[in-house]
Structure 1
């Protein structure tokens, strides 16, 4: 039966929300945005059959050459890999037109593990979750840095540190950092000689604490700056009674995992594949 691929419109709102909320194969990882903000974006696409929306994907590219596929939903009983193969060429062109050079899909649901490779994506890395079940914070050596709450005017300098600390796949630019600053309860920076050299922020989901981000400028790595930022973030969460406390890292990042183990974090066994496709 014929199905058509087209950009999503505001008129699709109810159908998309129903697809995301009521069907089994749906992933929404919008982080600092709401779905409503993106329904009319040129990178929001649907597959429609006989007037019914049967698949929806949303790609978001902000302050980075990498676009993330943050919402994916397919109606029950439909062939998800086939529908994404049908939708992807149009979506890829729209993302490339906005300047994206790479698209990344996160396979939070097992069903997406077959969807992305069917459209030519390759597995880029795996993100693992680590968990801390105690409130112990190890003793740290003296670190000649000042840790303070981040201010909104710090965002450009924080973004500059982020670009040095991470490859483009993981960049947080000024737009995302500003949104995070407004939304999370704890956002700190580390300064040395008046320069911002690292930052971290944490969030709470009920009583569950999560270290969302921790970054140190490469020139200052290996000097316990990251440990200090982690310790301060943990103190904040522990003072609020957060339990458990979690964070994410790449499976191949042994240096960060060693730091987290020192603080009592351990792998939960939760692993999420990151799938990538070049756009140019």
Structure 2
């Protein structure tokens, strides 16, 4: 039976939620947004057959030339590769029209890897989770750095630090940082002579503490500033009695892993592969 790929609309909300909640092959990673906020976006697409939505894909591009695939869902019994191959040219064109130069997606389930490969994605890296089982904080050499709570006025400078500290695929721009600042319980900056040179923020899921972000400007790395930010983030979580405490990093980031191990973090064995594909002009791949 013939299928139709088309942009999602707000009228599809109930069907999309039923697809996401009621079927096995689904993935949503919306961070500080809700699904409702993206349903009208030109980069939210569905595939339908005889009036029934059988697949949903959401691409999100914010403050970066890189768009992330934040939502994916395929009805049980359907072929996800065939559906995404049908959707991809339209989807890629919509992303490119928004200004995206690259598309990146996580593969929380094995079902997504062949889907990405079918349209030319390649594995970019692997993100690993580390977990801290104790509340110990190692001693850190004293340096003349001021750690304080971030304010909304700090966001532009924090975004500059972030852009210098990470590759474009991982950038957090002003929009994302502002969203995070409003929603997470602990957001701090490292300041030297009035200049913000690093930042970190932490979230809570029940009593599970997660250090979402830690960044230091490259010109100031190697001075234990990252360790100070990590220690302050941990003190906040420990004072609340948070357990466990986790964070993520790329599998090849040995420098960060060495810091985290010093603080008692150990790999959990949870790994998520990251896949990416470059877009070619406004026509898609």
Query: Which TM bucket (shorter chain)?
Result: over 0.9
Match in the other structure for 1:234: 234
| Partner SS for 1:130 | strand
Say whether residues 1:257 and 2:275 are aligned partners.
Answer: no
Deviations 1:82-121 (A, max 9, x none): 1111111101000000100000010012211221111110
Q: Distance in 2 between matches of 1:223 and 1:10?
A: 50
SS of aligned partner of 1:120: coil
Q: Which runs of 4 or more aligned residues in structure 1 lie more than 6 Å from their structure 2 counterparts after TM superposition? A: none
C-alpha offsets along residues 127-179 of structure 1, whole Å, 9 cap, x if unaligned? 00000000000000012100000000000000000000001000000000000
CA–CA separation in structure 2 for the residues paired with 1:184 and 1:11: 31
Deviations 1:182-239 (A, max 9, x none): 0000000000111000000000100100000000000000000000000000000000
- Structure 1 distance, partners of 2:142, 2:84, is 53
Q: Does 1:204 align with 2:204?
A: yes
Give 5+ residue unaligned stretches, structure 2.
281-285
- 2:95 is the alignment partner of 1:72: no
1:225-269: per-residue Cα shift (whole Å, max 9, x none)?
A: 000000000000000000000000000000000000000000000
**Structure-1 residue corresponding to 2:180:** 180
Q: 2:230 & 2:69 partners in 1: Cα distance? A: 29
Q: Which moved more, 1:67-76 or 1:102-111?
A: 102-111
Size of the aligned set, in residue pairs, is 280
Greater Cα offset, 213-222 or 79-88: 79-88
**Number of the residue aligned with 2:87:** 87
CA displacement 1:26-76 (0-9 Å, x = unmatched): 100000100000001000000010000000000000000000000000000
Q: Please give the TM-score of this superposition, normalised by the length of structure 1.
A: 0.99
Partner of 1:169: 169
Partner of 1:50: 50
Q: In 1, distance between residues paired with 2:277 and 2:150?
A: 35
Distance 1:189 1:94 in 2: 36
Q: Which runs of 5+ in 1 are unaligned?
A: none
Provide the TM-score with structure 2 as the length reference: 0.98
Aligned to 1:142: 142
**More off after superposition, 174-183 vs 110-119:** 110-119
> Superposition RMSD on alpha carbons, in Å?
0.5
User: Which residue of structure 2 lines up, in the alignment, with residue 216 of structure 1?
Assistant: 216
